[in-house]
Structures are given as structure tokens and as C-alpha cells.
Amino acid sequence: MLEKEFCIGMLNQEIMWKLQNWMGLGQEKKMSQANATFDRVCSKYISAKREEIIRSQGVLNGEGEDLLTSFMKLDTAKYKLLMKPSDDKFLRDTILAFILAGRDTTASALSWFFWLLSENPIVVAKIRQEIIDNDLPRTTGNGQENLDKLVYLQAALFEAMRLYPPVSFGRKSSVESDVLPSGHKVNANSKIIIFLYALGRMKAVWGEDALQFKPERWITENGGLKHDPSSKFLAFNSGPRTCLGKHLAITQMKTVVVEILQNYEVKVIKGQKIEPVLGFILAMKHGLKVVNMRTRFLHIS
């Protein structure tokens, strides 16, 4: 709910949302209610975590700590730009940032990815074969070195995020008047909405097969990963605003996919309606219903 109201608020004219906020009406009322609920839940968990830290008397030291504990223990002398970790607002904002940017985006990307795999069994077979060819262990987990070998898997993940970007749009503001590469004039202080969902499907950018799920478009002739400019593939933003957690997110997704495909056959239940829902995060409106069955690898003949 919170990201949906945030999304709608971004699209509203500034004067309108300010008026709604002042009067407590419309989407701003819903946003206020969602914020109050989120504050209440966060306050509960922050208080519980503080009590847990006091009881543990610093037994945990880095390894095994969760993110909230780590932020509570931050050295403010070392990180002068940060607010005090004892400030609940700082911790609340940190929780929100990690939920929106670090959890929901990854969950959304994986949901669309597994749905696309269900529609493209040949891609599933190729990913499994790549895992086998690189001798990735099934039970002991995989380090970064092993995951980096999975070029085709990363290409398939990028292709899924091209068609279904976890963040469906972004907003930019112009400091000064400018002219876009397309020739469109932009006045100072203008709001520019970039729809990543549409950008990833433009034939002028991606070719006539732009609507096809085709991981091979990300593979070079030598079998390496093709690195398109971030201004073309904006799933992780671009330039100095590139997502700080990009490599972590890719590692997480690869880890999840490998663990699942090594051990399960994912069957998407037929007949369900698959459609995106309006929101800051491009989630599935009705979720993705699947049946997981234990499996073992078969080599492609």
C-alpha cells in the first residue's frame, strides 16, 4: 500500500498533493494512514531490538548480526553525515529504504523471472545445463566465484528485468533548462517521468524482437556477458545514481535461482491471471501461484 500511494503521489501535480496533504484528503490521507501504520510497526521492532541488544550484552559482533542491529551499533564519529543511530526516525527510514530498495525489488524481479521461465522451458534447460557444466555444488552453497561463471543465468535475469523492471518508472527534476537527446525542450524545475516498463519494450531501442524473452541478446559472440549502457538498461538506474546494491541483488537472485532449480521443478498453476499492479514496485497483482516438486538434473542431449 505504501509504495502504491507513493507512486500515485509522484504522478500528481505538486499543487494538488500539497492541497490534499493540508486538508487530509484523497491519496494523501491514505499515505498518512500508511505512514502511521508503518511507524507503529517499526517502533515495535526497534524497541524489541534494543532490548535484545541489551540482553545479549554485545555477544554478537558482526557475524550473525542483522542489519537493524548493525545500524544501531554504528559509530557516529566515523560516519558524521548519518543521524544518530539512537534516533528512531533514522532507523525507521533505514528500514523503509531496505524494504523498498532491497527486498521488494528482488522479490518482484524473481516472481516475473520464474513466470517467464514457465513460459520458456528451453531457457530453463539451458540454465540448468550451465549449472551442471560449471560443477556448482548442490548442498554446500555457492560463493561469488561460482556464481560469476553463470553468464547465461545472469543474461536471463537481465532479460526478465528488461521486460518487467522491479521499479517500473523513475522521476527526474531539471535544475536548469535543457534539451533532451530526442530534441524535446525541458524547462527548469520540470518533472520528467521515465517509464522503464515502456522503455524496455521499445523496438527502436531493443529491435523488432523487443517483446520476446530472449536471454541471448545479452550474450556476446565469445560467450561473455554483453554490457549495454546503463542509460539503455535502467533497471539499476544510471551513472552516479546507479543502485548501490546492484551486485548484491544480482548475487542474491542468482543464489536463489540456483538453489531452486537444483532441487525443484517449479510448475506455475494454470488459469491464474498474471498482470502487473500500479505501484513504485512492479509487483504481480495476484501474486504467482506455483507447485514445487523435488527434481534432479538431466543433461541436454
At 153, is the pLDDT very low, low, confident or very high (cuts 50, 70, 90)? very high
- The answer on 218 and 111 residing in a single domain is yes
- The answer on 71 and 118 residing in a single domain is no
Q: Which of 94-103, 128-137, 147-156 has the lowest mean pLDDT?
A: 94-103
Task: Give the structural domain span for 35.
Answer: 1-86
- The answer on 173 and 29 residing in a single domain is no
CATH number, domain of 295, equals: 1.10.630.10
Please name which of 270, 264, 267, 274 lies closest in space to residue 295, comparing C-alpha atoms. Answer: 264
pLDDT tens digits for 285-296?
Answer: 999 999 988 876
- The answer on 264 and 144 residing in a single domain is yes
Q: What is the mean pLDDT of residues 262-276?
A: 92
- The answer on 117 and 71 residing in a single domain is no
Q: Which of 49-58, 105-114, 238-247, 266-275 has the lowest mean pLDDT?
A: 49-58
| Chain centre to alpha carbon of residue 74 | 26
The answer as to whether 2 is a domain residue is yes
- The answer on 148 and 40 residing in a single domain is no
Contacts of 177 (CB under 8 A, 6+ apart): 185, 186, 187, 188
**Share above pLDDT 70 across residues of the chain, in percent, rounded to a whole number:** 83
- The answer on 82 and 170 residing in a single domain is no
Which cell goes with 259? 538453489
- Domain count for the chain, please give it: 2
* Per-position DSSP letters for 45-76, written without gaps between them: HHHHHHHHHHHHTT---STT--HHHHHHT--T
Q: 263 near 98, Cβ under 8 Å?
A: no
The answer as to whether 157 is a domain residue is yes
pLDDT tens digits for 164-214?
Answer: 999 888 888 889 999 988 888 999 988 888 889 999 999 999 999 999 999
Pairwise CA distance, residues 100 & 92, whole Å: 12
Q: 28 near 8, Cβ under 8 Å?
A: no
- The answer on 115 and 60 residing in a single domain is no
Residue 300 clears pLDDT 50, i.e. is over it? no
The answer as to whether 101 is a domain residue is no
**Ligand-binding site membership of 7 (annotated):** no
The answer as to whether 15 is a domain residue is yes
Residue 261 clears pLDDT 90, i.e. is over it? yes
The answer as to whether 122 is a domain residue is yes
Q: 152 near 133, Cβ under 8 Å?
A: no
Using alpha carbons only, what angle is made at residue 277 by residues 272 and 278, rounded to the nearest 5 degrees? 170
